[in-house]
Structure 1
Amino acid sequence: MIYLIAAVAFAGTLGALNLVLLLGVIRRLREHTDLLAPGATDGRELPVIAVGERVGEATAVTESGAEISTARLADATVVAFFAPDCRPCREKVPAFAQFARHVPGGRDRVLAVVVDAAGDGSLFADALGEVAQVVVETPDGPLSGAFQVRAFPTVLRVARQHGAVVVAENRLAAELTPAAAAR
């Protein structure tokens, strides 16, 4: 009889410990769900500039020698940021090149910024050169700062509102298709 009481007590203790651990796991999953929810920042910075936010002022020189200014970007210009050391970027660059071919206004309405820390940005610059104005800059470059880029790839569409350039769309990287370019 003593063995039966010990076995029941052991099973009860084990069940209670399992319940406590399960409640801890559920709490952590809820925290992670809140962290990953769209728009949930909880005081932290978003990985991409918010829609409606004003783009900072910056100038840069394209690979072809033209000067680009964020203040002079045309309405509906697509601006993309890629980094050569980013695997998703390497996968998205060909799709972005196809997407850029169908942007109304052509090459003048597409700006591709290659954020190059290691000196291997020329591969992206060459791939994007015929469909976009290409700027190669360091991670702390002026365009990355103006657009508050903290994640790659980042693909945005800007708009002009009251004389200022603001972000109209900030989630274009997920939908790099020719049909999405015509919107």
Structure 2
Amino acid sequence: MSFLIALTVFVGLLCALDLVLTLGVIKRLREHTALLAKGSQPARPAIQVGESVGRFMATTVDGAPLEPGSLHGETLVGFFSPTCRPCQEKLPQFAAYAAARSGGRNGVLAVVVTEEDDAAEFVAALSPVARVVVEGRQGPVATAFMAHSFPTMLTVESADEGTLVVTDTRVTLDIPAATSV
């Protein structure tokens, strides 16, 4: 009889331990879910401030050729993917920020990276405020800027002989765009 009582107590303690561990796992999952939900911060590009952007040749959706030499002065550059939820959330903010910048759409480059034909919504939102390029994941512009995660936003400035140099890798869209002359 004492064996059955000991066995019952042991099973009860084992169940209580299992319950405590399960509650700990649930708490941890909620913390991770909250962190993932906040993950809509723009990704930091692999290219760093002061580095030169690689050479590229592309064509905008308007049919205009695009290469490093065609970007003059300070240029805001954004990389987006239609399949990325943070990109969908940041798109209106980026468009509003770009519209507030002086220099018009020539001072903004938006690259929509997709392997599908689902870029129409992004192109429609970005075309009024930026020169837009649509390319695949290993496209020439994304490769030149070392953009591997999305959304990625940075600023570049033209240097000598058509070279672009990264001036900022942390573009904060919730502050008014700096008006450059």
* TM-score of the two chains, using structure 2 as the length reference: 0.71
Q: Is the 8 A contact 2:69 2:158 kept in 1?
A: no
Residue 173 of structure 2 is aligned to residue 176 of structure 1:
yes
AA aligned to 1:86 is: C
Give the RMSD, CA atoms, in angstroms: 1.5
Using the TM superposition, give the Cα deviation of residue 73 of structure 1 relative to its aligned residue in structure 2, in angstroms: 1.3
SS in 1 for 2:154: strand
Using the TM superposition, give the Cα deviation of residue 177 of structure 1 relative to its aligned residue in structure 2, in angstroms: 3.2
SS in 1 for 2:177: helix
Using the TM superposition, give the Cα deviation of residue 178 of structure 1 relative to its aligned residue in structure 2, in angstroms: 5.5
Deviations 1:147-169 (A, max 9, x none): 01011111111012344211001
SS in 1 for 2:72: coil
* 5+ residue gaps, structure 1: 1-45
Structure-2 separation of matches of 1:180 and 1:64: 25
Q: Is the 8 A contact 1:89 1:152 kept in 2?
A: yes
Structure-1 separation of matches of 2:156 and 2:64: 20
SS in 2 for 1:177: coil
Number of residues of Structure 1 aligned to a counterpart in Structure 2: 136
Using the TM superposition, give the Cα deviation of residue 47 of structure 1 relative to its aligned residue in structure 2, in angstroms: 4.2
| Aligned counterpart in structure 1 of residue 79 of structure 2, from 70, 78, 81 | 81
Q: Which moved more, 1:53-62 or 1:157-166?
A: 157-166
Structure-2 separation of matches of 1:64 and 1:86: 24
Match runs of 1:25-36 below 5 Å? none
Q: Is the 8 A contact 2:71 2:106 kept in 1?
A: no
Deviations 1:58-109 (A, max 9, x none): 0111111111112331121111100001110000000001001111201111
* 5+ residue gaps, structure 2: 1-43
Q: Is the 8 A contact 1:58 1:146 kept in 2?
A: yes
Match runs of 1:39-54 below 5 Å? 47-54=45-52
Match runs of 1:2-17 below 5 Å? none
**Corresponding residue for 1:67?**
65
Q: Is the 8 A contact 2:45 2:169 kept in 1?
A: no
**Corresponding residue for 1:165?**
164
| Aligned counterpart in structure 2 of residue 57 of structure 1, from 55, 58, 70 | 55
Write out the 4+ residue segments of structure 1 that deviate beyond 6 Å after TM superposition.
none
Q: Is the 8 A contact 1:57 1:71 kept in 2?
A: no
Q: Is the 8 A contact 2:109 2:132 kept in 1?
A: yes
* TM-score of the two chains, using structure 1 as the length reference: 0.70
Percent identical across equivalent pairs? 45
AA aligned to 1:61 is: T
**Corresponding residue for 2:150?**
152
Q: Is the 8 A contact 1:102 1:178 kept in 2?
A: no
Residue 91 of structure 2 is aligned to residue 128 of structure 1:
no
Structure-2 separation of matches of 1:161 and 1:69: 14
